[in-house]
Amino acid sequence: MEHNIQRLLDEIKSFSTVKPDELEQFRIKYLGKNGILNNLFEEFKAQPPQQKQMLGKLLNSLKQTASEKYNDLKNNIDIAGKQETKPLDLTLNATNGAYGARHPMSIIRKEIIEIFSRIGFTVADGPEIEDDWHNFTALNFQPDHPAREMQDTFFIEQNPDIVLRTHTSSVQVRLMQTQKPPLRVIMPGRVYRNEAISSRAHCFFNQVEGLYIDKNVSFADLKQTLLYFSKEMFGSDTKIRLRPSYFPFTEPSAEMDISCSLCGGKGCSMCKKTGWVEILGCGMVDPNVLENCNIDSKVYTGYAFGMGIERITNLKFTVKDLRLFSENDIRFLKQFKNNI
Ligand code: PHE
C-alpha cells in the first residue's frame, strides 16, 4: 500500500494545467465518492496496527496534495476563463488620477529666482529661528527700535533673545560673515511678524531679498537691476519710481513702486487710483553693516532690496485675500494648475 500511495503522490503532482472537463475527471478519479482516496481509506482500516501510523500520515498527505492540486487547477481555469471572456483593450484611456499643481506662490518664487539667475544671482537660505544679532544688531537696529518689541516680533527666548526672523536680511548677514565679496545673491524664505490676521496682513509671509556687494557698486546699479526685474516680471511697458524711505541697514533707502500692472498706470482699485503700486524696499548697504560683518566699507559698497512674494503674487494673479495662500483650499489652488 505504501508503494501505491507514493506512486499516486507523484502522479498527482505531475498535473499542471487541465481543461475544464479534465478537471472534473480529476475530481471524480481522486476525490470522488468512489474515488481512489476513499478506497485507500477503506483499505487502510484493514492494515496491521504497527503500520497504521506511518500509512495514516502518508494517506493524509496524499489527500492534502490532491485537494490542493484540484484547487490550483481550478484557479488556473478560472483565470484563463476570465481572460477569454474579457480580453484586455489596450486602446482604452487610462483612468487619470488627480494631478497636483504648484502653489501660486511657488510659481512666482520660481519666476523671481529665474529672473535674477539670468543676471548672475545665486540663491541662499538661512534659519527661520534666528538670534538677535543676525536679525537686528548686525543690521544696525537701535536697542529701542519698535521691531524689537514683543508686539511686533515673536520671541522664542529672551536674554539672550532668540526670535522668529522678521526678514531674510538675517541671511544677508550670515553670507557677508562667511563669504568674501563679490557677493550677488537672492534669499527667498518665510518670515514672521506679530500681526493681527486680516485679508491684508498675516503673522507670516514670504520674502525674497537680494544683496550685491563688490567694488564700485552704486545706486545706479540698484536702480537698473530693479527696472530689469520689474520689466521681466510685469511686462516691458512697466515703469518704476523710487521714493526716499528709511531702513536701519541701508543708507540711502527707498521704496519702489511700479506702474500698476492692472490698469497700466491709468488708475484703478488695485492702485487706489494712483497708477502706482509699492512692491519693495531697497537701498545701499549701510557701511556700519558691512563693518559689522568684517567687510571693509572703504573698499566695498553694495545694495540690497527686499520684496514680499505674496504681494507680487497678488499683482500677478489678483488674489484679494492674503489668507487664501495658507488655507490649503483645493478650490483656490486648482485655479493655478495651468500656470506651472
Ligand atoms: N528687510 C526689509 C523688510 O523686511 C526689506 C529690505 C531689504 C529693505 C533690503 C531694504 C533693503 O521690510
pLDDT digits (tens, 9 = 90+) for 63-73: 999 999 999 98
Task: Give residue 326's region: left, alpha or beta (phi > 0; psi -120 to 50).
Answer: alpha
> What is the pTM (predicted TM-score) of this model?
0.72
Q: 115 CB contacts (<8 Å, ≥6 apart)?
A: 228, 229, 232, 233
Note the pLDDT of residue 89.
Answer: 82
Distance 231 CA to ligand 1 centre (A): 21
Please check the confidence at residue 82 and state whether its pLDDT lies above 80: no
Q: What atom of ligand 1 comes closest to residue 209's alpha carbon?
A: 7
Long-range contacts of 59-67 (CB under 8 A, 24+ apart): 59/5, 61/9, 62/5, 62/8, 62/9, 62/12, 62/37, 63/37, 65/9, 65/12, 65/13, 66/12, 66/30, 66/31, 66/37, 67/31
Distance 93 CA to ligand 1 centre (A): 52
Mean pLDDT lowest among 79-83, 226-230, 252-256: 79-83
Convert the pLDDT of each residue in 46-68 to its tens digit. 999 998 999 999 999 999 999 99
Helix orientation angle between 219-234 and 104-117, rounded to the nearest 10 degrees = 130
Please check the confidence at residue 80 and state whether its pLDDT lies above 90: no
Note the pLDDT of residue 99.
Answer: 76
Question: Does ligand 1 come within 6 angstroms of the Cβ of 181?
Answer: no
Note the pLDDT of residue 18.
Answer: 82
CA 136 to chain centre: 31
User: Which of 189, 184, 213 has the alpha carbon at shortest distance from 118?
Assistant: 184
Backbone φ, ψ for residue 78 (5° rounding):
-60, -45
Distance 287 CA to ligand 1 centre (A): 16
Number of helices and strands (H, E) in the chain?
Answer: 11, 10
Q: How far is CA 266 from CA 115, 232, 239, 242, 261, in A?
A: 27, 21, 13, 19, 10
CA pair distance 185, 247, nearest whole angstrom: 20
Q: Which residue has the higher pLDDT, 320 or 131?
A: 131
What's the average model confidence in pLDDT over 91-112? 87
Mean pLDDT lowest among 25-29, 38-42, 147-151, 167-171: 147-151
Element (H, E) at 333: helix 330-333
Cell numbers 487610462 correspond to: 94
Question: Does ligand 1 come within 6 angstroms of the Cβ of 104?
Answer: no
- Kindly give the pairing relationship between strand 129-131 and strand 183-192: unpaired
Note the pLDDT of residue 88.
Answer: 80
Grid cell listed for 160: 539672550
Question: Does ligand 1 come within 6 angstroms of the Cβ of 276?
Answer: no
- Kindly give the pairing relationship between strand 183-192 and strand 122-123: parallel
Q: Which residue has the higher pLDDT, 90 or 194?
A: 194
Provide DSSP, 182-247.
PEEEEEEEEEE------SS--SEEEEEEEEEEETT--HHHHHHHHHHHHHHHH-TT--EEEEEEEE
What's the average model confidence in pLDDT over 247-259? 97
DSSP state of 112: H
Average pLDDT, whole number, for the chain? 92
Q: How far is CA 309 from CA 55, 113, 204, 220, 332, in A?
A: 83, 11, 11, 24, 17
Of 16-25, 153-162, 264-273, the range with the highest mean pLDDT is: 153-162
Distance 58 CA to ligand 1 centre (A): 87
